[in-house]
Amino acid sequence: MEILRLGSELKLRLMLWLEHDLQEYTFVMCTGKCAKCTADLLFPIGLLGIVGNILLFFPNGEVWRTEEITEIIWFFPGVIGGGVLVFLPAAVMRCAGIEGGCCSNRCGMLMSMLMSVVGAVGSLYCMIISVVALQDGPLCDTGDGVFIYPFNSSITEESYLFNQTSWEQCVRPPNVVLWNIVLFSILLCLSALETVLLIAQVVNGLIGCLCGTCNNHNQLQETEMT
């Protein structure tokens, strides 16, 4: 009887411990894995931003002289803002989300949170440059051999974006208006998505810093079991 009583008590304690542990694990496990998933999304998005920025230097897929390329492209919104400054926090997030990694702890989540702020600034930079570029339009030759900004907002009151007839003003490079609109719109969408992901990681990193990650929680369980 004593053995049965002890067995029932042990079983009850085990069930209570598992229930409490499962609840805590369910809340905490998302921080490390969420950071890794976010990083896995940011890397390809940042790479697309870099490719889009590089393509802007070759209107209509052709090589043009430096002075014939839209000036704002030289601010490298996709390379610097949407690329390099996003890759840095993504690398830290991935380290924080890898089980058994050197950064899979509260300190790693704190670093990922701080770096996500830097990345968000970079993606916002890309967004702002893209919006300005879409507003002002591309640099082009209107037929007299001189490259100007015919769609600059300070020159025209009506936006050229939805007036395809006005695009014909640009003779060289050919199709430069459509080229710029498509690529800068892509950069705008990519940077907006990056901003959302990075802000979400700031919140996730704060939770992971305060509550820990699923990885160090698993390590604590293993320690208690031995």
Which is it for the CA torsion 9, 15, 21, 27, positive or negative?
negative
Annotated domain spans of the chain:
33-138+175-225
- Residues with Cβ within 8 Å of 112's Cβ and at least 6 positions away in sequence, in order, are 35, 89, 92, 93, 96, 103, 201, 205, 208
Q: How far is CA 78 from CA 92, 173, 186, 215, 222, in A?
A: 20, 22, 10, 34, 44
Per-residue pLDDT 10s for the chain (226 aa) are: 555 454 555 555 545 444 444 444 444 457 778 888 999 999 999 999 999 999 999 999 999 999 999 999 999 999 999 999 999 999 999 888 776 656 667 788 888 899 999 999 999 999 999 999 999 999 999 988 899 999 886 555 678 898 888 899 999 999 999 999 999 999 999 999 999 999 999 999 888 877 766 554 444 444 444 4
Q: How far is CA 163 from CA 160, 167, 169, in A?
A: 5, 7, 11
